A and B are shown apart, each in its own frame.
Chain A
Amino acid sequence: MVFRICTFLLAILASQGSLAQTAFSRPADAIKYRQAAFQVMSFHSQRIGSMAKGDRPFDKLVSNQDAAIMEMMAAQMEAAFPPGSDAAPSKAKPEVWQDAAQFKQKMDDLKSSTRKLSEATRSGDLNNIRAAFNQTAQSCKSCHEGFRNR
């Protein structure tokens, strides 16, 4: 009897699926989270971007921080799009869920390009950072084009 109950409970826990289902109690929370994460990402992207463009003097430590934060935000992003979180103020297009495979690819692309950006900032070579920044900017842009409403 106890064994049956335990198996039953285990089955329920195993069927919980993605972390997101337990991470956000409301769809609105997921929207708030991801928009905040993008806002944080934007600030650091602008800062490292202005270094890459030469508008701001290069500071290796600051660029390390910017890239590290962007990499961390990128890692959290995918889980912040649970099904049913498409109501306003979300700017996510329905394709995020309808074309989930493509969306995942964009997310993977973002994770990989921010990781490469982090590696470049550890090298301290501005040319490497510039190239990695451009690639990251492309990842951002490419996802926005297909999956974000203006």
Chain B
Amino acid sequence: MSKVRIWDLPTRLFHWLLVLAISGALVTQYLGGTAMAWHFRFGYLALSLVGFRVIWGLIGTRHARFASFVRGPSVILAYLRGRTAPDEATPGHNPLGALSVLAMLAVVLLQTGSGLFASDDIAAQGPLAKFVDQGLSEQISTLHAQVGANVIYALVGLHLCAIAYYRLRRRINLIWPMVSGDKAPAKASDAVNEGWGLWARALICFLACAATVGYLTSL
């Protein structure tokens, strides 16, 4: 079977820009000092990206939509039991992978949201910290730095293990489809169409999210 377009370009760009944002946030936090200015920028990028992905999950192409891959517990169990079935059955995210998508989106949203109110007690203070009292900001900072960060490490670790499992044990490369958008083998009827119209819509969505984040941080 020939290659079939499964992942649209906006979804793929979202994924890899999020990788950049999270990695950048991690490194800049470790460096500290003046690098915290970049930590904030990577955080704003991550927040804008998650905002975009949520909207795209409602209006994007078929496999990007939450409705197409978010399934209930009975479907997840059935998928797990019959997990040696051919992969054409789930062209996009499988029911189990869907859980990790939701978890990662939720955690990144919480992490970037809490970051807006956090402080590192040295010289970096989130743009909205001034609207809450110091005690509350300290509590939020603890959630951000101690809890949220570790949850993100765990989810990213799990994600990487899953990718490795697919590559090593099931000989399925999941990285390339997220770069090229194409999957093989796949049913032709699962293909999505994309073009300039779609990309323009996606860009407008993302810019709207970025503008909202820009507004929030300027308050």
Contacts and interface: CB of A to CB of B under 8 A. Distances in A.
A117 to B, nearest CB: 11
Query: Chain B binding site: helix, strand, loop or mixed by DSSP?
Result: helix
Interface residues of B, number: 18
A137 B37 contact: no
B122 A137 contact: yes
A90 interface: no
B146 A150 contact: yes
Interface string B59-70: 000000000000
Nearest to B35: A134
B121 interface: yes
Given A46-B123, A140-B122, A55 B37 contact: yes
Interface string B5-32: 0000000000000000000000000011
A49 interface: yes
B38 to A, nearest CB: 9
Contact of A134 (B33, B120, B121, B138): B33
> Could you say which of A50, A135, A136, A141 has the most chain B C-beta atoms within 10 Å of its C-beta?
A141
B142 interface: yes
Contacts, number: 52
Given A42-B121, A46-B123, A133 B142 contact: no
B186 interface: no
Contacts of B164: none
Given A45-B123, A49-B122, A140-B122, A130 B34 contact: yes
Nearest to A137: B33
Given A134-B35, A138-B33, 4 more contacts: A137-B122, A141-B122, A150-B138, A150-B146
**How extensive is the interface on chain A, given as a class?**
20 to 34
Given A150-B142, A150-B145, A134 B125 contact: no
B98 interface: no
Contacts of A38: 121
Contacts of A54: 37
